[in-house]
Each structure stands twice: as C-alpha cells, then as structure tokens.
Amino acid sequence: MGQQAAIIAASLLNQNLTVFINLFVFFLTQMKYKLKHILLIFFATTLGLSSCITEDSFDNDPYGNFDQLWQIIDEKYCYLDYKGIDWDAMGRKYRSRLSADMSKENLFEVMDSLLYQLKDGHVNLSASFNQTRFDFWGDSPRNFTEAIIENSNYLGNDYRRAAGMKYKILSDNIGYIYYESFSYGVGDGNLDEVLSYLAVCDGLIIDVRQNGGGNLTNSTKIAARFTNEKVHTGYIQHKTGTGHNDFSEPYAVYVEPSSRIKWQKPAVVLSNRHSYSATNDFINSMRYMPNTIIMGDTSGGGSGMPFSSELPNGWSVRFSASPHLDRDKQHTEFGITPDIKVDMTLEDQLNGYDTIIEAAREYLRSEKI
C-alpha cells in the first residue's frame, strides 16, 4: 500500500506542492485505512485544501484576471475534451469583450458567459457581490412536488426523522425514506435505528429526488448497508499534467459491506434531474447493489470532484478536476439513466399522488419475498 500511495502522491507534486505536503502527511497518519478510502477522503476534502493552490502571476486588471481564469480551466478542468469544448476558441471569443476600464460587474458577466460553456454545476465563479451558476437540470420535468410527499398519502404528520432522513412505513407495508441532502451527517447508530424500524416492511423506497449532493462519505456509508459482499462501483482518476487528457490510470472504487444492520429485501431508489453530485455518486453505487433498482428520471450528474483557485482580484473559481467513472469506465457527468423511467403525471398530482412513488410501491409489491 505504501508504494501505491507514494506513486499517487508523487504524480500530484508537479501541480501543487502544498497539496502534496498535506497529502503526504495525511498518508502517514492514515495508514491504518485502505488506499481506496484514503483516496476518496482526499478527493472529497480537496476543496478545503484548494485555497492553497498557487497559479502563475497575472496582473490584477480585467485582462489578467480573465487570462488566469482561462488558464486554470485549460490546465486543470477535467472534461474539456469529453464535452468537445474548443477552449482556445472560447477564450478568444470572450476575451474580445474585455476593456481595460470595464466595471467589475461587466467583467463578472463576461467570465460567467465563458464558464457557462462548460455546462457544469460544479463550476462557479464567486465574488463578494455575486456567484455564477449553471442550471444542470435544463428543461427536464421537475418530477417532484414536496407538498405531495408531505401529505397524508406519504409522510403526513407521523413520520420519523433521523440525520436528515424522513422515514415512515406506508399503508401497504412499504418503507419510505426521503433524504433531502447528503450534507446531513449520517451515523451508524442512525442507520441502525432507521433500518431496524423498517425491517418489518416488504420493500424499501429511498427517495433522493431534489437532493443536490453533499458529503461522499455519507453516500458510501448508506450504500454499504445494501450489500453483503464487496461491490465494484466505478473508477476515479486525477490530473497528472496540464494537458486536457493528462490523467492517471483509472483506479477502481468499491463499496465494502457494513458490519452493522443491512437491508436484505428489494429496494428502489428514486431519482430526478435535481439528484446531483454526491447524490449522483449514490445512485451510481446503488444501481450495482443486489435487489436494488433506480426509478424515475435521469439523475443530474456532476461526477467531477471540485477543486478551487483564486484570481488576482480575490474572486474564487471552483471547477471539476477529478473525474469519476462507472464500472464500465463511462462518465456519469451528464447523469445516470434509471432502470425504469417514470414521470409524474398531472392527473396524479391533482389528486395528491406521486406517480413515481406509486410506481415504486407497485414494483416492490410485485417483488415481495
């Protein structure tokens, strides 16, 4: 393991000495963990270290700030070739809109337009007065109405709540969990209590629609409750140079089964276009779990682990730097197609029903053990 760690650490040295030092110290203090766990924690915490990333020196004027932003994406962003983006052409196009005396607001707008071409919800430019954003769900149907899942047909007023999970046993003895954000910490004790309470159910629905992501550790911890064996769920890579395709070899990622209470019956994960980032990772993991299917709409994507850097004027830029692949080595940046595609119907919504939940209940009743 030590040799593998050293190789990975050395490959990062040419990009960032500070990150290398932090990573090396981290390896020394975390040798009791398996390498894959160290890698996942490193990539998940890189955002916290990324303020240390240093860049070439650029002037603090509209041209200098724009040029540094362009270079950061050119050298560090991980999807330029995958998305077929001619970054040189984009740079020329939007740099022509600059002027030496333009306002900070106008400069921000030009940079926003440049970054929008990446079509990536993990890419943001942040100033004291504004932050760029990308509508990654596009014109897709919402496929979710919070008021409906909170009515008496589903959660009602008598649901339980633990670690951000709202859960209840529905009238047909199907368990239902709504988890609205992977930013909510999940402890082993929480999962033991939730799964013990729902153990009498014939099947389980895990609803992660509208879940915009959060902590990858929570994603893995929950997924580990749905398998009795080690499951290969995908690969990760990191940049090894400034070229658009300078990546390490894909490193396999696995979910190890938890030693605590596990779910052994059929399960359905509900997805929509707002299921993003860590939620996309969770959906990817869960589709490989036994007795589990994905239902609803294609997830929102967002599979690139974000790093961040600072421009001369103090604005920060966040960008996808480390791609995650599924176990067929395919990108999930644009989302994961469900096993069963279901859209909400207007008729059901008017009658207070969620078409996707109802389809999941019907499926689980048919799969009753």
Res 264: pLDDT:
96
Burial of residue 272 (CB within 10 Å: 0-12, 13-18, 19+) is buried
Identify the segments of the chain with pLDDT beneath 50.
Answer: 1-54
Res 136: pLDDT:
81
Q: Is the CB of residue 356 less than 8 Å from the CB of residue 344?
A: yes
Tell me the whole-structure pTM to 2 decimals.
Answer: 0.84
Res 138: pLDDT:
79
Strand partners of residue 166: 161, 178
Res 369: pLDDT:
59
- Residue 301's SS3 state is strand
Digit-coded pLDDT (tens) for 256-277:
999 999 999 999 999 999 999 9
If one counts every other C-beta atom within 10 angstroms of the C-beta of residue 89, the result is 10
| Superfamily the domain 150-227+262-301+336-366 falls into | 2-enoyl-CoA Hydratase; Chain A, domain 1 (3.90.226.10)
Q: Is the CB of residue 279 less than 8 Å from the CB of residue 262?
A: no
Q: Rg for the chain (alpha carbons), in Å?
A: 22
Q: Is the CB of residue 40 less than 8 Å from the CB of residue 220?
A: yes
Digit-coded pLDDT (tens) for 86-112:
999 999 999 999 999 999 999 999 999
Q: What ranges in 165-299 are assigned the alpha helix state H?
A: 188-198, 216-223, 278-286
